[in-house]
Chains A and B, each alone.
Chain A
Amino acid sequence: QSALTQPRSVSGSPGQSVTISCTGTSSDVGGYNYVSWYQQHPGKAPKLMIYDVSKRPSGVPDRFSGSKSGNTASLAISGLQAEDEADYYCCSYAGIYSFFGTGTKVTVL
């Protein structure tokens, strides 16, 4: 197994919505409802944004939402704001192991 596949970059204007996909296999994303998403600003540690596919930790704006269909999970950001510009990584449980996605840079135009 290897890293989950994410688009290298997505972009949108302030106020718009963007969606990031995370494609795995039936052994990871498709096999468990344990997909999480992380936001990472340059030089900072990652921050948990979504867990268990679609749950938001307290303090994370409801502009962030997660979903899954088959072997692909998605993170949607609505009402894009300047501070959302960052790298985003998905992560999936795969039975005692975990795998991160390849990462997506979100640019706010």
Chain B
Amino acid sequence: QVQLVQSGSELKKPGASVKVSCKASGYSFTSYTMNWVRQAPGQGLEWMGWINTNTGNPTYAQGFTGRFVFSLDTSVNTAYLQINSLNAEDTAVYYCARDGVVATYDYWGQGTLVTVSS
């Protein structure tokens, strides 16, 4: 069965970096794009962008350029989200989600809580 398993919660200091992983199983990893979604505490879902799992080419939503980096390791069917120069506003749950068709997020990871605090 299709599964997306994300890495565990992270506590980071302002200015640090964090790398969240999303390991896919149960399907052909390179046949579907991988998307990232942010949810700040008590807030709604924000689409961050996606990565082409064939080419590795990322596309970032407005507001997620510069400090955010999507990457892949297709040898282990894993997508990564790195956030640099963390600040308190980055505190959120980050989800990876497979796009099944077009903007159809049919499978989601369990979410990774990133907390930024001094």
Contacts and interface: CB of A to CB of B under 8 A. Distances in A.
Nearest to B102: A34
A99 B110 contact: no
Contacts of B66: none
Interface in B95-118: 95, 97, 100-106, 108-111
B76 interface: no
A3 B44 contact: yes
Contacts of A45: 95, 108-111
B45 interface: yes
A26 interface: no
Give chain A's interface residue range (CB within 8 Å of chain B).
20 to 34
Contact of A46 (B45, B100, B103): B45
A100 interface: yes
Contacts of A3: 44, 46
A103 interface: yes
Contacts of A66: none
B108 A46 contact: yes
A109 interface: no
Interface residues of B, number: 22
A26 to B, nearest CB: 16
B44 A102 contact: yes
A72 interface: no
A34 B102 CA distance: 7
Contact of A48 (B61, B104, B109): B104
Interface in A40-75: 40, 45-48, 51-52, 57
Interface of A: 1, 3, 32, 34-36, 38, 40, 45-48, 51-52, 57, 87, 89, 91-93, 96-103
Interface of B: 35, 37, 44-47, 59, 61-62, 95, 97, 100-106, 108-111
Q: Which 7 A-B pairs rank lowest in CB-CB distance, beginning with the nearest?
A: A93-B103, A103-B44, A51-B104, A45-B108, A100-B45, A98-B103, A98-B47
